[in-house]
Amino acid sequence: MQEYLLYIIIALVVVVGLIIWLILNKRNRKEEVISTGKIDKKEKTKQVSLQQKLTKTKSGFLGQIAELLKLSGKVDEELLEELEEALIKADVGVTTSCDIIDKLRDKIKEDKITDTQIIQSTLIKIIKDMMLSDYAGKQPGIFVNDTKPFVILFTGVNGVGKTTTIGKLAKRYVDAGKSVLMVAADTFRAAAIDQLAIWAERAGAEISRQDQGSDPSSVVFDGLKKALSRKIDIVLIDTAGRQHTKINLMNELNKIDRTIKKVIPDAPHESLLVVDATTGQNALTQAEIFDKATNLSGIVLTKLDGTAKGGIVIGIKHQLDVPVKLIGVGETNADLRDFSADEFLRAIFD
């Protein structure tokens, strides 16, 4: 009888063990499928080309020019004026648009062009040549040298994606094995400080912060001292961008710039203005104003995938001699991309 009970117990143990094994195996397989799905999704994101991201810009920019040429019966001064107006409406900028049309006018006279179909290819070549010349010798993105800490100052009006850009860039550098300190110098809004703290946690970066209403220059000073003592690789400084006190804001940015130089004389090593590409001509105005306060070294154009114009990319370097260094073309970290003039031109015109 005892042997019989022993056999039953052994059988039950085996059955229970088998059931547990099946459950665990099923769960592991499910987790593997989920994990694989995430990886595939990431790979798919990486594979999205800039041309796909800039579909709106390409169709809007080229579409308007093609429509003008289609409706025009001949190559004359009226057509050139309409093309110039189209470029300005596409946010290329008045100065740059005039330069492009002047070159086109000279080319028409030189080659005796009378066919409107040749005008489009000629216009595109002029834009390509001009932009490649403007960016000749410029390395795409931000070149971080061996300076420690390498200080990057970010400016820009509220709502352009400045804090998000800082967070994505911090993640990029942390993933590359760099130590990163984010400085919350936008003390005007408590939400800005909290948002930067969330991005710092996501990125695995440190943050230097004080309470809302603190002196921004004091926050920067303490942050840089902290970076020096801890031998931080990269410092990313967020600043305020309220539009309704423009003069005070520029004075504040001037003070921050002077404070940075007191602690690290050759810093900031990059001074980047973040602008919303959908604001068009307003972005040029912002760049002119902020450049006076912080001597800009580059532009970050966000939301470039959301505009059907995009001409701002063509005009900003030509008119202000400030290069676009980063572009935002989506929500993911991978969608903050180093700007390459050659890649942009292929995405728009090829």
Q: For 6-50, give the DSSP string.
A: HHHHHHHHHHHHHHHHHHHHHHHHHHHHHHHHHHHHHHHHHH--H
**pLDDT one-digit tens code per residue, 294-319:** 889 999 999 888 766 678 888 888 88
What pTM value is reported for the model?
0.80
Residue 285, amino acid: T
How many beta carbons lie within 10 A of that of residue 290, not counting itself?
26
More confident residue, 289 or 22: 289
- Would you call the peptide bond into 323 cis, given omega within 30 degrees of 0 as the criterion? no
Beta bridge partner(s), residue 213 = none
Answer whether 339's CB lies under 8 Å from 329's CB: no
CA nearest to 101, candidates 88, 91, 114, 115: 88
The bridge status of strand 270-276 relative to strand 336-338 is: unpaired
Q: Is the pLDDT of residue 68 over 50?
A: yes
What is the percent of the chain with per-residue pLDDT over 70, rounded to a whole number?
83
CA 314, CA 95: separation in Å to the nearest integer?
Answer: 11
Q: Give mean pLDDT, residues 200-220.
A: 92
What mean pLDDT, rounded, does the chain reach? 82
CA 259, CA 238: separation in Å to the nearest integer?
Answer: 14
Please tell me the least confidently modeled range out of 99-103, 171-175, 180-184, 244-248.
244-248
CA 193, CA 154: separation in Å to the nearest integer?
Answer: 14
| CB contact burial 67-86 (16+ within 10 A = b; e otherwise) | ebbeeeeebeeebbebbbeb
Backbone region of residue 324 per phi and psi (left: phi > 0; alpha: psi in -120 to 50; beta: other values): beta
| pLDDT for 200 | 94
What is the percent of the chain with per-residue pLDDT over 90, rounded to a whole number?
41
Please tell me the least confidently modeled range out of 116-130, 134-148, 192-206, 239-253.
239-253
**pLDDT one-digit tens code per residue, 104-123:** 999 999 998 888 888 888 99
Phi, psi for 268 (deg, rounded to 5): -70, 145
